[in-house]
Amino acid sequence: MTTWLLVARPRGDEARERGRALTDEALLALGEEGGAIAAVDAETIYEVDLEDDTGDVDDATVDIFRRLFSDPVAETFHAGPRADGALPPPPEAAESAPVRTVIVRRRAGVMDPPALSAVEALRDLGVAATDVRIARRYFVRGTATGGALSDEAIGRLARRALASDVVDEIVIDAATLPARPPAGDASAPGSRRREVAVRELDDEALAALSRDHLLALDVHEMRAVAAHFRKLEREPSDVELETVAQTWSEHCKHKTFRGVIEHVTEDADGVELDRRTIDDLLGRTIVDATTAVTSGEDGRDDCVSLFADNAGVVRFDERLDVCAKVETHNHPSAIEPYGGSETGVGGVIRDILGTGQGAWPILNIDVFCLGPPDLPADELPEGSLHPRRVLAGVVAGVRDYGNRMGIPTASGALIFDRGYVGNPLVFVGTIGVIPRGRSEKGARPGDRIIAAGGRTGRDGIHGATFSSLELTSESETMSGGAVQIGNPIEEKKVADVIEAARDADLVHSVTDCGAGGFSSAVGEMAEEIGAVVDLERAPLKYPGLTPAEVWISEAQERMVFACPPDRVGELRALFDAAGVETTDLGRFGADDRALVVRWEGEELLRLGPEFLHDGLPRTRKHARTVVPTLAPASETLAQLDAGGEPLGAELRAILGDLDVASKEWVTRQYDHEVQGLTALRPCAGPRAVGPQDAVAVVPRPRSTLANEAKAPAAVVVGLGLCPSYGELDPHAMAMAAVDEALRNVVAAGGDPRRTSLLDNFCWGDPNDPDILGALVRTSEGAADAARLFGCPYISGKDSLNNTYRTAQGERVSIPGTLLVTAVGVVDDAARLVSMEPKAAGEKLYLVGVTRAELGGSKIAGIRALTRAAPPRVTDRAPIVLGAIANATAARLVRGAHDLSEGGLAVAAAELGIGADLTITVDLAKVPWDGGGAAATDRALAFAESTTRLLLSVDPDDAARLEETLTGAGLQAGRDFAAVGEVVAAGEPGPRLTVTGLAGDAVIDEPIDELREHWRAPLYRVFGQQPPTPTPLGG
């Protein structure tokens, strides 16, 4: 083998140009010590292994190297035999500042897509390359006065800004590039049955076995395993034990949600008020509510597939159904934010690809709950990454996967709370479309098991069980294998084929390899019929994996197809043409419906479905709810008005709060327009800065409708999550989250009667009765909301054990968090409404009642309110949202925006920001129900009562709007009122003017200032300024 070493180094001007962003990042990472850095720039180093018989590397080959690995305009290029790996000296700098170098490269065995592409490209151009390794070398220049960076600082910089310890190797100040050991171990015995003795173990030994093997099974479950194999009169193989652990993981089986819960309700003094046994919490709440709203003559009849598949499926139009799935990828993202969020996105996209016989993804969703990005370094728990780093990493991961796959990422949310510091939450979702009738699926006996996509490696071992364990300060080192880097182009290649394969009837069933890898994918598909797998056929990234590792590896970008045996050639030919590797792993169907795994003929696993799928012992857990004692409204209102800043100052404080502030820094990094289907973007209005409530996509634009005499229909996606209400009342929090998600859909022109829901629970330690009690109440709230609005849940996921043990041993659970995703169908895309008022002269209607609901609100945080009542959804909510939907359907609404965090004042400010027009609001006109307590300016301006929207209405349509609302059962003055106007901007610019109950202007602020105040915070986190808002109107 010959190895060449190639170096591409940016030329002077280019080095400075490219170095600017790197330098900014480095300064930010080092904080106060960043002053010691003058500049950072970087070059790329390639090691190319050539086949033995290549002989001399001729000039033509060097020219190919040059063209593939360097840019003639921007870079200089060095090429030569590797020899001892000597690197060219660092570039001269104008000022003779001392320089330190940092080499960063992927650890052996970690996915490195560019390296794989480089090998393929070289071979395609006729160069016999066998391997390429890529490294980046950073040149970190100290200042002339400060000298070079210290060892400590350069190490910290490398780990914080340049590399990810988990997946990267860091080499500092090396003049030569050290050789990297090969991944895998060719000499390791790969193929033998390994038995694990369990039958004679006592409880202590069983618990130790579970812990040592990262099985995440408790002692009851381990006992059931031991008993099963005693009955079989043999010991399990390691493959069998791992399979049981994967199949029985909390991640796959939802043990808590499906188990038995003893729930006690107490008052504040510990007096028991109620006691009940809940057998199957998920069944009694989410599932029962969905059954209720989809049954009976008036029941919803647009559900196609509920909870049965990788995604929920509902009717869309004459030809298509729409499918939706939202997942979490919390623990991997805590350890390696970029790879964690990236592979989370990749996984949820595969859920859509693996829905029915294969669906096409059209929209991505991302929601992050993170610690505050300005957290002081000394408050960071040991072993945790700083929230700012997590934020940068998870955004980059979602960006790179979605942008590269060509799926618009347009719907999202971002919440910051100290409770997420040690255990950030990363929700990722995908919406897809599938032709009607193609959601039916099922492997049949005799079908071949065809694996397609990436190869299997040691990466991603134990993801399913890892996600079921708590994070500790050692998780990073312990579970590095659970963290991976994605390869979106590999997945895109699979996606490019999936529709053709489906439409040619080549697919009886398909699913993705997610948690548990082949064990879960094949296991689930074979649940009813069994399967025989010849595992040694699985293609590997490198040698040396044990059969158990091959079976449970969660290596990314793999899918499993059930293909009729006489059609296998066609399926594989389709994949071949797209450059996707396929493997025939065996057949579906086995005696006694058993799952059988063989390695070169030797049987490593044989488990029947009655044990594997039904043998899991039910868990029995205890839960407690303490009824909160809340302050009466009068007390809260008095507390609210005691002291305090002028309302304008409080409004600015809330607009500058990161939860409320513009998310533009994130959304501009996402391609929210690719595929050309996006009809409502995250950024609304003539300056493209308005915070759009719900985004919309048009899956079949008019250009594809051919001769169909119909308008294109749209999918609208809204999100709801309000963890801040949960501490006061988890039931109210859940209902508020559903209400918020539906409000967003309605604001965009959707209708609750055509909207379906997804639930994602992220919770702490389910063995803590109070935390489990909150989960019970949240689930009940989510179910009650579904019944109230008549909206089914079509898909959901729970992630428990989101806890973190600090180095001091203190155990921290995250705030219980429910994300509700609402997916609405709008039959005529022309009915879509963007959030901003469209013209001066429009009237502003506030629909919905304001109450003294300030608990968990933004103003409560500022005014330090205690025990204030959180917002509650009333029985009138579906009437309110239905009435607004009628109005948008009649095209009577020019702009609509929901009231959420910060209440009316924030919503009104956002209207002004979105429209670039003056907004006036008269608080005296706001419909108020204080339960006897008189309204105050502050409560009217900042209360966060649910089910409220601001509509801007053409004055010519005002009478018809009022008729429509009253016709739907609302009462003017009580349920809605005209509260303000849209006015042409005066000099020097538009204003927000809010008139108080006494008739004086309690808020009078220039919109331009509010806008920049609201846009800046997230940019400021990264030391940047928001760009000038681009006028779209020309």
Partner 1 sequence: MTENVAALILRAPGTNCDRETVRALELAGARCDSVHVDRICTAPGRTDPAFSLDPYGIVAVPGGFTYGDDLGAGVILGNRIARALGERLAAFVDGGGIVLGICNGFQVLVQAGLLPGPDLRGAVTLAPNRSGRFECRWVHLEGATDRSPLLERGAILPCPVAHAEGRLAVRDPGVLDELERGGQIAFRYVRPGCDAQPVPHPFNPNGSAGDVAGICDPTGRVLGLMPHPERNVEPFHDPLWTRRRSDDALHRPGPGLELFRRAVAAAPGAADGEEAGVALHTAD
Nearest approach, Cβ of residue 122 and partner 1 (Å): 9
Instruction: Compute how many residues bind partner 1; rule: CB under 8 A.
Output: 83
Q: Judged by CB under 8 A, does residue 712 bind partner 1? A: yes
What is the C-alpha separation between 475 and 214, in angstroms, rounded?
12
Tokens 């006694």 sit on residue? 592
Site for partner 1 in 847-906 (CB under 8 A): none
The residues in 551-610 that bind partner 1, with binding defined as CB under 8 A, are: 577-579
Residue 457 or 686 with smaller CB distance to partner 1: 686
Q: Round to whole Å and give the CA distance between 247 and 311.
A: 19
C-alpha separations of 132 from 45, 82, 508 in Å: 10, 12, 39
Work out whether 838 is an interface residue with partner 1 (CB under 8 A): yes
832 binds partner 1 per the rule CB under 8 A: yes
Instruction: Compare residues 769 and 912 and give the one whose CB is closer to partner 1.
Output: 912
If you write DSSP's letter for every residue of 885-913 in order, what string do you get? Answer: HHHHHTT--SEEEE--TTHHHHHHHHHHH
State which residue, 835 or 994, has the beta carbon closest to partner 1: 835
**Binding partner 1 by CB under 8 A: which of 2, 3, 16, 24?**
24
Minimum distance, C-beta of residue 275 to partner 1, in the bound complex (Å): 53
Residue labelled with tokens 């009915």: 831
Q: Which residues ranging from 1002 to 1031 are in contact with partner 1 (CB under 8 A)?
A: 1027-1028, 1030-1031
Among 186, 268, 642, 709, binds partner 1 (CB under 8 A): 709
- Closest distance of CB 703 from partner 1, Å: 5
Binding flag, residue 292, partner 1 (CB under 8 A): no
Smallest distance from partner 1 to CB 756, Å: 23
Q: Nearer to partner 1 by C-beta: 86 or 830? A: 830
* Region of 259-267, 404-412, 755-763, 807-815 interacting with partner 1 (CB under 8 A): 404-412
Q: Which of 649, 807, 830, 984 binds partner 1 (CB under 8 A)?
A: 830
Phi, psi of 297 (to 5 degrees): -65, -35
For residues 563 and 451, give the distance between their C-alpha atoms in angstroms, rounded to a whole number. Answer: 10
Among 3, 176, 669, 966, binds partner 1 (CB under 8 A): 669
- 3-state secondary structure (DSSP) of residue 26: helix
Phi, psi of 917 (to 5 degrees): -130, 160
- Please answer whether residues 594 and 608 qualify as being in contact, where contact means their C-beta atoms are separated by less than 8 angstroms: yes
Does 17 engage in binding with partner 1 (CB under 8 A)? yes
Q: Which stretch binds partner 1 (CB under 8 A): 86-94, 628-636, 678-686, 795-803?
A: 678-686
Among 290, 487, 519, 799, binds partner 1 (CB under 8 A): 487
Closest by CA position to 116, among listed 52, 544, 124:
124
In this structure, are strands 1001-1006 and 991-995 parallel, antiparallel, or unpaired?
A: antiparallel
Residue 230's DSSP bridge partners are none
Distance, in Å, from the CA atom of 691 to the CA atom of 915, rounded to the nearest integer, reads 11
Q: Which two tokens stand for residue 430?
A: 């995908």
Pick from 833, 883, 978, 994 the residue near partner 1 by CB under 8 A.
Answer: 833
Answer yes or no whether residue 14 interacts with partner 1 by CB under 8 A. Answer: yes
Binding mask 300-329 for partner 1 (x = CB under 8 A): ------------------------------
Count of C-beta atoms within a 10 Å radius of residue 1012? 16
3-state secondary structure (DSSP) of residue 696: strand
**In the set 35, 80, 181, 676, which binds partner 1 (CB under 8 A)?**
676
Residue with tokens 């999936």: 498
| Cβ proximity to partner 1, 103 vs 495, nearer residue | 495
Residues 638-667 binding partner 1 (CB under 8 A) are: 667
Q: Which is nearer to partner 1, 93 or 489 (CB)?
A: 489
Mark the segment that binds partner 1 (CB under 8 A) among 16-24, 139-147, 376-384, 502-510: 16-24
Q: Which of 22, 244, 434, 907 binds partner 1 (CB under 8 A)?
A: 22
- Answer yes or no whether residue 404 interacts with partner 1 by CB under 8 A: yes
User: Which residue from 55, 84, 86, 123 is in contact with partner 1, where contact means CB under 8 A?
Assistant: 123
d(CA 645, CA 420): 30
Residue with Cβ nearer partner 1 (202 or 708): 708
Residue placing its CB nearer to partner 1 in the complex, 689 or 854? 689
Measure CA of the first residue to CA of the last residue in the chain; give whole Å: 60
Minimum gap (Å) between residue 73 Cβ and partner 1: 4
- 500, 688, 985, 1001: which one binds partner 1 (CB under 8 A): 688
Q: Does residue 72 touch partner 1 according to CB under 8 A? A: yes
> Smallest Cα–Cα separation from 1018: which of 626, 712, 663?
663
Which pair of tokens denotes residue 45?
């180093």
Q: Identify residues 99-118 at the interface with partner 1 (CB under 8 A).
A: 113-114, 116-118
Instruction: Give the total residue count for the chain.
Output: 1034
Q: Is 92 exposed, middle or buried (0-12, 13-18, 19+ CB in 10 A)?
A: exposed
Q: Is 1033 in the site for partner 1 (CB under 8 A)?
A: yes
Least separation in angstroms between CB 677 and partner 1: 8
Choose between 416 and 670: whose C-beta lies nearer to partner 1: 670
Is residue 125 close enough to count as binding partner 1 by CB under 8 A? yes
Element (H, E) at 135: strand 129-142
Strands 928-929, 850-851: pairing kind? parallel
Q: Residue 453: in which H helix or E strand, if any?
A: strand 448-453
Comparing CA positions, the residue from 758, 779, 766, 776 lying closest to residue 327 is: 758
Rounded to an integer, what distance in angstroms lies between the CA atom of residue 721 and that of residue 707?
42
Q: In what order do the strands lie in the sheet with 168-172?
A: 75-81, 2-10, 37-50, 129-142, 99-106, 168-172
3-state secondary structure of 484: coil
Residue 829 sits in the site that holds partner 1 (CB under 8 A): yes
The rounded distance, in Å, linking the Cα atoms of 154 and 330 is 29
- Tokens 């098991």 belong to 449
- What part of residues 42-71 is at the interface with partner 1 (CB under 8 A)? 64, 67-69, 71
Minimum Å distance from CB 671 to partner 1? 4
Nearer to partner 1 (CB atom), residue 487 or residue 509:
487
251 binds partner 1 (CB under 8 A): no
Smaller CB distance to partner 1: residue 123 or 231?
123
